[in-house]
Amino acid sequence: LFLAFLLAGFLALAPQVAQGVKLDGNGLVQLYVSQLSYLVLFRVLVFSKEHGLRAQLEAAHLHHLAHTDPLTGVANRRSILKSLEEALLRHQQTAEPLCLVLLDLDRFKQINDCYGHEVGDRVLVQATRVLQQNLRPGDQLGRWGGEEFMLLLPNTSLAEAEELCARLQPLLAQHDHLPPVSASFGVAAALPGDNPRSLIARADSAMYASKQAGGNQVKVAS
């Protein structure tokens, strides 16, 4: 830009120089120095903005890595546990219903043993997609570990949570070009005085009862 400005000035002043017109050298120098200063300042501002944007993108990327399961793309254990803590706090403040669901894909080890871990990973990704596409606005999904997932259902009664799980059961089995999959569900409703550990323990006990009964069932914590 500065070179173009110099060239334009040269082309504009060349005829006057050729005619012997005396030019104000100090004024020209001040003009060009001021223009160069503006350009340098503009570049510094642009660089500063670019640096700030890169820092924001890097921070967002690190936050995503810290809170997201790398295989399925949903909340990881740390993130969904934090969401549970916040949801329980709201439940205690507002007394709105809150349900927690733990689900475990049945006989997943057999899938890995028979078809390999690559197919097992595809099953996990597909199961995650099915769950995400059929949850309601406000519901939260996280990978609790291995083939186990957690559903956080705010403002949801025990009957509504059980109904949702029953609707998800046949949908999980609809895998295209993948081995059939089912899941064992354990549902627990938040009670006064609950903390994350106690609520998770009841949902886990219900899920274990579902697996003990043969899997592909929905059990509600008593």
Per-residue confidence (pLDDT) for residue 17, from 0 to 100: 58
β-strand pairing of 148-154 with 98-105: antiparallel
pLDDT tens-digit series, residues 147-163: 999 999 999 999 999 99
Neighbours of 65 (CB within 10 A): 10
Helix 196-212 vs helix 77-94: crossing angle, to nearest 10: 110
β-strand pairing of 148-154 with 183-189: unpaired
Q: Which fold has domain 77-220?
A: Alpha-Beta Plaits (3.30.70)
Instruction: Yes or no: say if 186 and 221 are a contact pair by the CB < 8 Å rule.
Output: yes
- Tracing tokens 């790398």 back to the chain, one arrives at 70
pLDDT tens-digit series, residues 193-220: 999 999 999 999 999 999 999 999 999 9
Per-residue pLDDT band for 39 (boundaries 50, 70, 90) equals confident
Listed range (90-99, 110-119, 131-140, 176-185) with the worst mean pLDDT? 176-185
Task: Check residue 129 and give left, alpha or beta (phi > 0: left; psi -120 to 50: alpha).
Answer: alpha
Q: Is the pTM of this model over 0.95?
A: no
Q: Where are the beta strands (DSSP E) in the chain?
A: 98-105, 140-145, 148-154, 183-189, 218-220
For 161, the token pair is 């949570």
The Cα diameter of the chain in Å comes to: 105
Instruction: Yes or no: say if 175 and 74 are a contact pair by the CB < 8 Å rule.
Output: no
Residue 25 has pLDDT above 70, yes or no: no
Instruction: Yes or no: say if 119 and 179 are a contact pair by the CB < 8 Å rule.
Output: yes
Per-residue confidence (pLDDT) for residue 14, from 0 to 100: 62
Q: Which residues are catalytic?
A: 147
